């Protein structure tokens, strides 16, 4: 079942039988942010969904579990607010992962550092973020009292869609309440053992702000498994990409090759080893997903032809 916003209010929708039959995989189904073609049922606030219009952008991740399948988190996004708390849950390596996925989505990433009241050195955290997010806007806020959110509100535009993304307890729901101007989403406290917030949002939801902008609030994703991103590595790791341009060999693997500018930067300290380790880890993860996806696609194609041949044999026998 789906809740659909239309020009005449909210409707409850479900897929048509034909749509459900023809949907081959999870990504074929409507996701939050999609524009759909629907037919309203007379006499009730229900509608039948017949199709999804082409998506201009999408934020995806690998679905949970052992199967290699795409899970679409949100679609048709103009901007992505990557939300991270400035308490003990602050993690630059996790933010690198979110930035890579945001670049790959086709939407413009912006970083929102929340809970500034729990941070002893806000400027240090901002500097640390700026070393990995080149040219990306960075906001620091205390959403509970609206401190810093007025700067964000001034950038909101009627009709644009923004996704809030971040791990559990990063303060996304509290931030949404501050942007909305009232208690729109339920919020939770902070666990005492590790300073992480409690998980409060359990489903993805599209919220229309008073200014006319649309916000997609998502459940926290502490472990964001990549789906794609190979084409966006140069944007997410612009510093390493610039260094690689100075390597002696165009196909340098940045390991033990002579004249490697990346290894030279690691040796003289201009490139942090943690930064490079994160880069290598994400590259390996993307290569693994690509291999598994190719295998899964080949199996799906083989199964499709087996079904076609079976149907043809059945028709011949009749």
Annotated binding-site residue numbers: 114-117, 166-174, 247, 252, 254, 260
Edge to edge, the sheet with strand 108-114 lists 138-140, 108-114, 79-85, 161-165, 214-217, 205-208
Alpha carbons 240 and 261: distance in angstroms, whole number: 9
Alpha carbons 82 and 92: distance in angstroms, whole number: 12
Alpha carbons 34 and 30: distance in angstroms, whole number: 6
Which residues are annotated as part of the binding site for Zn(2+)?
247, 252, 254, 260
- Find out whether 113 and 138 touch, Cβ atoms under 8 Å: yes
Which residues are annotated as part of the binding site for GTP?
114-117, 166-174
Alpha carbons 12 and 45: distance in angstroms, whole number: 6
Alpha carbons 230 and 101: distance in angstroms, whole number: 10
* Local structure of 138: helix, strand or coil: strand
Alpha carbons 66 and 134: distance in angstroms, whole number: 34
- Helical (H) or strand (E) element with 290: helix 273-317
Burial 208-220 (b: 16+ CB within 10 A, else e): ebeeebbbbbbeb
Alpha carbons 207 and 143: distance in angstroms, whole number: 17
Best CA proximity match to 4, nearest among 209, 208, 159: 208
DSSP 243-254: HHTTSSSTT--S
Tokens 């073609």 sit at which residue?
37
Question: 198 pairs with which residues across the strands?
Answer: none
Alpha carbons 200 and 198: distance in angstroms, whole number: 6
Which CA distances in Å does 229 have to 67, 105, 237? 19, 9, 12
């Amino acid at each position: 079942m789906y809740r659909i916003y239309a020009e005449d209010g909210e409707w409850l929708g479900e897929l048509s039988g034909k749509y459900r039959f023809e949907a081959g995989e999870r990504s074929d189904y409507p996701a939050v942010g999609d524009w759909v073609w629907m037919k309203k049922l007379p006499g009730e606030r229900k509608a039948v969904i017949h199709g999804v219009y082409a998506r201009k952008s999408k934020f995806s991740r690998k679905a949970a579990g052992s199967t290699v399948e795409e899970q679409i988190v949100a679609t048709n996004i103009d901007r992505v607010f990557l939300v991270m708390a400035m308490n003990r849950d602050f993690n630059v390596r996790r933010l690198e992962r979110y930035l890579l996925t945001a670049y790959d989505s086709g939407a413009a990433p912006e970083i929102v550092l929340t809970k500034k009241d729990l941070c002893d050195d806000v400027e240090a955290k901002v500097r640390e973020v700026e070393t990995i997010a080149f040219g990306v806007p960075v906001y620091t806020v205390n959403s509970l009292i609206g401190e810093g959110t007025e700067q964000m509100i001034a950038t909101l535009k009627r009709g644009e869609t923004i996704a809030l993304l971040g791990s559990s307890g990063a303060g996304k729901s509290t931030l949404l309440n501050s942007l909305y101007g009232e208690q729109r989403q339920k919020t939770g406290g902070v666990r005492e053992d590790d300073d992480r917030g409690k998980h409060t949002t359990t489903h993805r939801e599209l919220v229309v702000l008073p200014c006319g902008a649309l916000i997609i609030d998502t459940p926290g994703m502490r472990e964001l498994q990549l789906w794609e991103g190979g084409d966006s590595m140069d944007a997410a790791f612009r510093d390493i990409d610039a260094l690689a341009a100075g390597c002696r060999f165009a196909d340098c693997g940045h390991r033990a090759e002579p004249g490697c500018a990346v290894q030279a930067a690691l040796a003289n300290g201009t490139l942090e080893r943690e930064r490079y380790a994160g880069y290598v880890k994400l590259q390996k993860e993307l290569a693994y997903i690509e291999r598994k996806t190719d295998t899964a696609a080949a199996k799906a194609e083989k199964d499709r032809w087996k079904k076609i041949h079976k149907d043809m044999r059945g028709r011949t026998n009749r």
